Amino acid sequence: MQYSALFGKTIKEAPKDEMAVNAKLLIRAGFVRREVAGVYNYLPLGIRVLNKISNIIREEMNSIGGQEVLLSALQNKDSWKITGRWDTFRALLKAKTQLEIEYPLGPTHEEVIVPLAKQFISSYKDLPLYLFQIQTKFRDEKRAKSGLLRGREFLMKDLYSFHLTEKDLDDYYEKVTKAYFNILNKLGVGEKTYLTFASGGTFSKYSHEFQTVSEAGEDSIYICQKCKQAINKEIFNEVKICPNCKGKDFKEEKSIESGNIFKLMTKYSKPFDLCVTDKDGSKREVLMGCYGIGPSRLMGTIVELNNDAKGIIWPKNVAPFDVHLIHIEDPTTEAFAKDVNDTLVKNGVEVLWDDRKGVSPGVKFADADLVGIPVRLIVSKRNEDKIEFKERTSEKSELLKLEEVVNRLS
């Protein structure tokens, strides 16, 4: 992609009322723009990152047997009346027609997935079943000052599992926990993420959150210094003891909730009478789990954890491009710059090629650092037929032949 043609160039300053580091950097670097508070539009660079995150999540979901569906944002009001959440779910946005007909605008999809699953589940043979979607959710957040970390509209992966036995639910819950850490590791935020005991609601003693340590976080966690699991504030205030290892020595940290997993048990199958006939002919209520992780929030989290004074530092797996190729403007090296771009692209390397004319090298370097692509290449007259190769995270650069560059990158 030629940077000269790219929609979404860098700007010097983010809007003054944008408080969060992730939003400031993503706006300045040309990844997103705010529509209204808590709602962002994704520019070409932004959608590339978002899609890469979504695909990493999708692969992990597929690998634990998840089947992908796409559920509607406009939901059935009657289903929300049945669970009682129509009147009690504070953050629910309601879509209204001019004739005052109302639809719940999905902040979550239990009220859709359970009646849907009920149409296909009747026997124990239909279980277990794992359904997930990657879809836009709506939530009337009171605070929307954290950029992509807390949105009124955001992209979510939600997975719902259906089981005959508690043992089966427990086993799958462990599988999802592993899959979530795989995702977070691939995104480069796993190391700073703690499995965190949280309130389980009505039916199971604890649920779990995946809390990523960051000053930008709105949550507080207490990390057990013995077993390195954590408990959230609510639980900490109740128990002051690690539910995992009984440890009593904690370190408090601010954190971002990167994901959460719940054993719903029969909380939503009961109101919809989602049952199966077991082997012995008896009727049994289906047990459920639900598991959420949000690509757009993760994008914000990645930026919060990976930046310096110059800009964003994308992990390889989610960078919008593999390399940022800068041509130091000079008519004698123009053909070579094009050759470098074309050769890399032919070898499957994703190249953002800064081909702008009338823009100083200093501006191009600063833009490359701000955008944060992992590798910067420079073609210049001084380097002759060599290419300057530098990683975003390193101060050192090397002069390499095109062939060597191709070998390193493909």
Binding site for a copy of itself (CB under 8 A): 6-9, 33, 35-36, 39-44, 46-47, 50, 67-76, 90, 92-98, 103, 105, 112, 116, 119-120, 129, 131, 136, 138, 140, 152-153
In the complex with a copy of itself, the residue whose CB is nearer, 10 or 165, is 10
Cα–Cα distance measured from residue 200 to residue 269, given in angstroms and rounded to the nearest whole number: 17
Nearer to a copy of itself, 34 or 364 (CB): 34
Smallest separation (angstroms) from a copy of itself to the CB of 99: 8
Read off the amino acid at residue 259.
G
* Residue with Cβ nearer a copy of itself (49 or 305): 49
Q: Which is nearer to a copy of itself, 68 or 238 (CB)?
A: 68
Give the Cα separation of 224 and 195 in Å (integer): 11
Distance of CA 334 to the CA centre of its chain: 39
Q: How far is the CB of 98 from a copy of itself (least distance, A)?
A: 6
Reading the block at residue 320, the tokens are 């919008």
Nearest approach in angstroms of CB 11 to a copy of itself is 8
Q: What phi and psi values does residue 13 have, to the nearest 5 degrees?
A: -125, 140
Q: Which residues pair with 79 in a beta bridge?
A: none
Q: Which is nearer to a copy of itself, 43 or 326 (CB)?
A: 43
Min CB(3)–a copy of itself separation in Å? 12
* Spatial CA neighbour of 257 closest among 330, 184, 162, 172: 184
The answer to whether 206 and 198 have CB atoms below 8 angstroms apart is yes
Cβ distance to a copy of itself smaller for residue 138 or 321? 138
- Smallest gap from residue 43 Cβ to a copy of itself (A): 6
Q: In the complex with a copy of itself, which residue's Cβ is closer, 117 or 377? A: 117
Residue 47 Cβ vs a copy of itself, minimum distance, rounded to whole Å: 5
Bridge-based pairing of strands 311-312 and 307-308 is: antiparallel
DSSP state, 43? P
Closest contact distance (angstroms) between CB of 48 and a copy of itself is 9
Round to whole Å and give the CA distance between 181 and 175.
Answer: 10
Distance of alpha carbon 109 from the chain centroid: 18
The CA distances from residue 293 to 184, 210, 358, in Å, are 10, 9, 44
